[in-house]
Structure 1
Amino acid sequence: MEYYKINYYDQFKCLADKCPETCCAGWQIVIDEESLDKYKAIGGSLLEGIDLEQECFYQDREGRCAFLRKDNLCEIYKECGASYLCDTCRMYPRHVEEFEGERELTISISCPEGIRLLLAQEKPLFFTHTRDEETEFFEEFDTVLYRFLKETRKELLRLIYDSEISYSELRGQLLGAGEILQSYTDEEDLEEVEAANLWQKRSLTSDFAGDYRREVRGGWKLMKVHCEFRDPGFVQMADQSLAAPERKETKKLPEFDFYFRQLLAYFILSYYTGAAYSANPLAIVKMALFNVELIRSLWQANLECEQPEEARELLENISSSYSRELEHSWENMNALEDLVVEELYLKG
């Protein structure tokens, strides 16, 4: 088994009761079968906090887990130890993408410490590599497409981190790259394709020549129709922010250009190779771009001063809040993927 971990993966450490946004409230926490068997063996008052039919923890009226204490620490962890945490609680915010013989691991930016770690990286993101002796086989897994995606992801990251092109230019070139990748996926014998030469053979000019902010507004309206949101406060903030007049580009915060590139790289690293199952790399590129453009639009609309520390804190909060609405709901992720295929970044 090959393991690929985002470069700061092992730096993550839960903030526990010091976290400004507990992960033990606001969403259903599903319990895996092995952990549920442990809880049943203990029995007693422990089972009073568990919905055995739905296989999840009960929540109070504020959406807090039945075992989340007032000091924001976990009662199960305190009384039984880390080995009794269910898979969801043990793994979060670690995100795993599974492929035949390989695993890709990232840290979700829905976690305040996760987004802090991401934006603290001063150099381009990359994966570290380890392996063990475990083996497995996936039926009907398209190994050729997966290898093509892994190689072309390197080219996408080179494009994202190309300091010779502005962020504004990057958007169009990234879409153009996605369109090229989709055409190869649809039409070519991928075993014969050299990923490093793709951009030389075709122009990176995208078919899309429209207004990115208009796409963000339209996409957000569609998300409200097709997605379910956990936090009405975030929805209200996004509505107000996107309805407000567009602010001028910030001039005193050039380092934020790199932060938005890091966010693009995060979404590409986390989800691009998942196109091995959908055969639609353009959809993942579009989704990454839309996510970052939405985050960027909300950040600009709510930026009241250009002090770097305050501006970065605002970016962290918006990124984390949006990720909580999107990345932990497969229904929302699938809905957005459908939207970017059918509705967004079409020919201008």
Structure 2
Amino acid sequence: MNNRIKVLLVDDEAWTRDIVKTFGDWDSLNMVIIGEADDGMEALKLIEELEPQVVITDMRMPGVDGVRLLEVLNKRFPDIKSVVVSGYDDFQYAKHAVRFQAVDYLLKPVDPAELNAALLKCKEQVEAAQMSLNVLGLDVDVSYLLSPFKTRLRSYYNELNHEGVETVLNQLRAELDSKAAKAVMKSSKLEQVAQELLLLLKELMDVNSQSADSLKFSYESSTFASSGGTTAFLRVCYGHMLDQLIKMRKFKNKLNLEEVRKFMDTHYAEPITLEQLARSFYVSKEYLSKSFKQEYRQNITDYLLNLRMVKAKEWLLDESIPIKAIAEMAGYEDVTYFYRVFKKHFGIAPGEMRKNSEV
């Protein structure tokens, strides 16, 4: 059991946990279930105690629900892989809980093939991380230092923003050369910097349907002897794969407004801007804005706002979802701002709407 990947099941329905236990190919995947929890609060206690590497969680549970549990996992236990199991009615907000880095989401009733495919993804990611740490030696200070740079790289890469990626890597070099970072890097952990950011690049390629086979770059033993050599290597890797992605997108070469609309329908919880959309679909802001309004009789900003408000209104009907979580799932990090926008849109505050729906 010591070498097996540890899994925690979280669901207030015992029969769902039993189905997952029955359908999972635990032995062949080298996994073992080390605990079960009825809600998110109990799950967090067991996570502290049992240190699982994978958490399979329902979304609708009493007390601390799946949305909140995933949020805490993402912030406090980023190395834990999570899989969402959701009922049909939960599908929309379960899907957007993936923004808290869930590996996959499954609909109830659980399909055995889909369950084991999700578990295999978790196994591969856990083993890849273990291999990296075994080879390089884990330095949590290095990982902590990289965290904000990873967030920005993820955003710029998905926006096809070459200049943004370059800027982040240049800022990383400056940070690695700073006095504070030199204290962290004194034991030569630049290889870990490269490895962690290459793992991020592979993740970004997967999200954008790029082949991982093309992620092969040669380097010399001296490449990681300095921050300059390390970041130069990463610039080549990110630049090459970003060029490849841009060519993939440009190949379509004609603006498809339905694709633009579907992109917003899928990514509305993210900080989408007109500039980002125009860059991603290779047209000017003016042309995109004019074409979208002609086709859908409203501008992009209004379409996005209405989409977020409709989703937020739906989620308010479920009392188990905290309003703060609803704001975040609708794309608003600032809850106060969400309250203002919601009230302006519907003429009533979120809390009042929820209270009135109970009558």
- Normalised-by-shorter TM-score class: under 0.3
| More helix per residue | 2
**What TM-score do you get using the length of structure 1 for normalisation?**
0.25
